[in-house]
Structure 1
Amino acid sequence: MQDLVTVFGGSGFVGSQVVRALARTGYRVRVAVRQPAGAYDLLMLGDVGQIQVVQANIRDPDSVARALEGAQACVNLVGVLYESGRQKFASLHAEGAANVAKAARAAGVTRMVQVSAIGADPDSPSVYARTKAGGEAAVREAMPQAVILRPSIVFGPEDDFFNRFAAMAVMSPALPLIGGGKTRFQPVFVGDVARAVSVAVTDPDCAGQTYELGGPAILTFRQLLELVLSETQRRRILLPLPFGVANLIGQVGNLVALTPLAPPLTSDQVAQLKVDNVANPALPGLAELGVSPTAVESVVGAYLYRFRKGGQFAETPEAGVTPA
């Protein structure tokens, strides 16, 4: 019988690709999500009966234990970019990860993959980064053989970075260069992250390792916004925004997060932008997992075209002609 892998948070942007990659590898996949009614499209990512969707909330240890019954491996992808309602950084990134690891150990699960983030640091000024580090520590304590993956910003058709700024470029005459746009990133393709998770689940040599996942190029925040404007064929002002001003905007975003609306920026995200989001060369990465990184330029145009004037029917500008 195929091994069973329980994936917590498998209905999200990265999670759905992880479910697909595991199914293609031949695993049976149990997707544990808070709201199963919105995740049944995942059943189509595998063969008939290969993928199962169940209800679980990693803040509830009993539901986590039920989701792990009979599993040989598990993957924890649960995370939020900003706090809202009961979805707090500490309860999900740290306490939730601890619940999964403890339940996995009790259930006899032998392989666990914890998806964290580059920048996870117990001393970070960002609560997001501190709680990610807390989750890693809790997982290591309960499951020393667990594999920890730390991706940089993840790009792909449903990402929250390129799509957000492309949509902003449609409506706004300017895009904000927070902190002057000097922060460096190493964008990694969602498909590469999914393959990395699949390898980490499968390969026993990965046990106990921490990997930092970055793409083939390191780009500044300014360069990323320039790429957005190039792919959407729009000419916009790149407006430097000092961290102090950005933090004031983030404070307003904190209040927006108390409503059902998604905040454009939070103060914690501003804190994150003060630190480069680049893979540590001293740690193993995609290459050690046998994954060839995908260049951001080769992918983003395939989904940002819809933000051009005319969408898929937009004319390709001639060489040397600046888009409007």
Structure 2
Amino acid sequence: MTNASPLVTIFGGSGFVGRYIARRMARSGWRVRVAVRRPNEALFVRTYGTVGQVEPVFANIRDDASVAAAVLGSSAVVNAVGILAPSGKQTFEEVQADGAGRIARAATAEGVASLVHISAIGADSDSESDYASSKALGEKLLIEAFPGAVILRPSIVFGPEDQFFNRFAGMARIAPFLPVIGADTRFQPVYVDDIAKAAEKAAMGKVEAGVYELGGPEVDTFRGLMERVLKVVRRRKWIAPIPFGVARVQGSIFDFLSRMSGGLLPAPVTRDQVTLLENDNVVSEGAKGFAELGIEPVEMAGVLEEYLYSYRPYGQYSDITESAKHMKA
């Protein structure tokens, strides 16, 4: 890897989505700077390329100086930072709104050619959800500072390290039922590496500026997705719909307990997340998406089988065990 290779800085490059983008950019021959708050916990990204090609560095997107230092010398910048719930100084406004604007201003000042921002379907300035409204404000601040940016809005993301399907598969292993808030809410799950493909193209200047909503080839309800999980992990559990009224009360209680513990007791579900679940999370009619990017999104079935098998009664040996039972019968 030579110094002539272009450099991309990926904020949040060790996170769930960011690491896939980092891996793809490294394979394309780029030098990759993974900008994170805790570089020592991101050393694994070095294995994505040759010696010295991928390096984690310190950056706090709440601080102008550290963001400016992280983008220094970069040809492209990707912002893959996002939080599902606030914690201490890591608030929705600081991280998803002001942080996005700060990165865009630094990219403009540095003369960066391409800026890619990972947002979310449902980003809406008028939303009652702080998560969704902060995502919308982040997009606004980003475009004001860097009009030529590419914004990617994925639906719920799945992949080996996801916190959605893994969470419920784990619950199915020990709980007598699966609690579901918004059983009829629709989602359009998107494979994490498909988002990385889109980000890679955008970072390399192969995508027109604008907003792209990314959803997989299948739309299903929350209940339907849980039925898929149970089928893959081969467990029979009752899917228990929780009314929104009850869920809002639960979310408020969990929020209070989390605040009182200083974040030591993370909320299983927050009031803000309940608000999000009241709306479908699918690609808007007429929105640009994978088709305009020249990418054919991957279906869920094969991928879920690859990483949820460990939650089956006999894990990786489930097929052998079940086959043996049939032979005895």
TM-score calculated relative to the size of structure 2: 0.93
Deviations 1:157-177 (A, max 9, x none): 010100111111112111123
User: Offset at 1:256?
Assistant: 4.3
Match of 1:152 among 150, 155, 159: 155
Equivalent position of 2:169 in the other structure: 166
For 1:189 and 1:199, the matched residues in 2 are separated by 16
**In 1: Cα distance, 2:248 partner to 2:319 partner:** 39
The aligned residue for residue 47 of structure 1 is: 50
- 1:311 CA displacement: 1.1
CA shift for structure 1 position 71: 0.6
1:291 maps onto 2:295 in alignment? yes
**Residue number in structure 2 paired with 1:203:** 205
**Aligned-partner Cα distance in 2 for 1:48–1:55:** 19
Unaligned runs of 5+ in 1: none
**C-alpha contact 1:83 1:257 (8 A) present in aligned 2:** no
The one-letter amino acid paired with 2:147 is: P
Amino acid at match of 1:16: R
- Relative to structure 1, the CA distance from residue 36 to residue 265 in structure 2 (aligned partners, 3 Å threshold; closer, same or farther) is same
Q: Which residue of 1 aligns with 2:246?
A: 245
Amino acid at match of 1:114: H
Partner SS for 1:96:
helix
**Structure 1 Cα separation of the partners of residues 241 and 78 of structure 2:** 39
Alignment match of 1:32 (pick from 31, 35, 49): 35
* SS of residue paired to 1:299: helix
| Other structure's SS at 1:6 match | strand
Counterpart Cα distance in 2 of 1:246 and 1:111? 41
SS at match of 2:319: coil
CA distance in structure 2 between the partners assigned to 1:24 and 1:256 by the alignment: 44
Distance across 2 between alignment mates of 1:12 and 1:49: 20
Aligned-partner SS, 1:198: helix
Is residue 124 of structure 2 the alignment partner of residue 121 of structure 1? yes
Contact 1:84-1:257 at 8 Å conserved across structures: no
Cα distance between partner residues in 1 of 2:275 and 2:6: 41
Question: Which of 182, 185, 188 pairs up with 2:187?
Answer: 185
Deviation for aligned residue 1:7: 0.3
Query: Matches of 2:5 and 2:300 in 1, distance apart?
Result: 34
Cα displacement (A) at 1:314: 1.5
Equivalent residue number for residue 230 of structure 1: 231
Shift of 1:255: 2.9
CA distance in 1, matches of 2:39, 2:313: 37
- 2:22 pairs with one of 9, 19, 27: 19
Q: Identify the range of structure 1 (34-43 vs 259-268) with the bigger mean alpha-carbon deviation.
A: 259-268
Q: Distance in 1 between matches of 2:205 and 2:104?
A: 19
Q: Distance in 2 between matches of 1:51 and 1:233?
A: 39
Report the alpha carbon displacement of residue 252 of structure 1 after superposing the two structures with TM.
2.3
Deviations 1:198-255 (A, max 9, x none): 0111134x24211000000001001100011111111111112100011111112213
Aligned match for 1:269, one of 273, 289, 298: 273
Whichever residue aligns with residue 277 of structure 2, its letter is L
CA shift, 1:261, in A, is 3.5
- Tell me the residue number matched to 1:217: 218
Partner of 1:254: 255
Indicate whether 1:131 and 2:95 are aligned: no
Q: How many residues align?
A: 317
* Unmatched runs of 5 consecutive residues or more in structure 2: none
Give the Cα separation in 2 of the matches to 1:171 and 1:22.
Answer: 39
- Return closer, same or farther for 1:257/1:83 CA change in 2, 3 Å cut-off: farther
Deviation at 1:148, TM superposition (A): 0.3
Q: Which residue of 2 aligns with 1:56?
A: 59
Cα distance between partner residues in 1 of 2:201 and 2:253: 41
Q: 2:316 matched to which residue of 1? A: 312
Letter in 2 for 1:182: D
Structure-to-structure mapping, 1:40-119, within 5 angstroms: 40-119=43-122
Give me the TM-score of the superposition, normalised by structure 1.
0.95
Structure 2 partner of 1:281: 285
- Looking at structure 2, the residues matched to 217 and 199 of structure 1 have their Cα atoms a distance apart, in angstroms, of 23
* CA–CA separation in structure 2 for the residues paired with 1:263 and 1:246: 12
Kindly indicate whether the alpha-carbon contact (under 8 Å) linking 2:76 and 2:204 is maintained by their aligned counterparts in 1.
Answer: no
Counterpart-to-counterpart distance in 2, 1:312 and 1:306: 6
